[in-house]
Amino acid sequence: MKKILSRADELVLLTVWRLKENAYGVTIRKTVIEASGHDWSVGAIYDALERLTKWEYLTANQSDPTPERGGRSKRYYKITDDGISALNELRKVQDSLWSDLPVLQPDTN
Find the domain containing 13 and state its range.
7-65+72-93
Q: What is the CATH number of the domain that holds 21?
A: 1.10.10.10
DSSP code of 78?
A: E
Q: Is residue 79 part of a domain?
A: yes
Q: Is residue 109 part of a domain?
A: no
Three-state DSSP string of 46-68: HHHHHHHHHCCCEEEEECCCCCC
Q: Is residue 14 part of a domain?
A: yes
**pLDDT (mean) for 4-17:** 94
Percentage of the chain modeled with pLDDT above 70: 94
Long-range contacts, stretch 27-31, CB < 8 angstroms, 24+ apart: 28/77
Q: Is residue 102 part of a domain?
A: no
The confidence score (pLDDT) of residue 107 equals 80
Number of domains observed in the structure of the chain: 1
Q: Is residue 18 part of a domain?
A: yes
Q: Is residue 55 part of a domain?
A: yes
User: How many other CB atoms are found less than 10 A from the CB of residue 30?
Assistant: 14
Q: Is residue 2 part of a domain?
A: no
The confidence score (pLDDT) of residue 1 equals 57
Task: Kindly report the average pLDDT of the chain as a whole number.
Answer: 90
Q: Is residue 50 part of a domain?
A: yes
58-84 tens-digit pLDDT: 999 998 777 776 677 889 999 999 999
Highest mean pLDDT among 30-44, 65-79, 89-103: 30-44
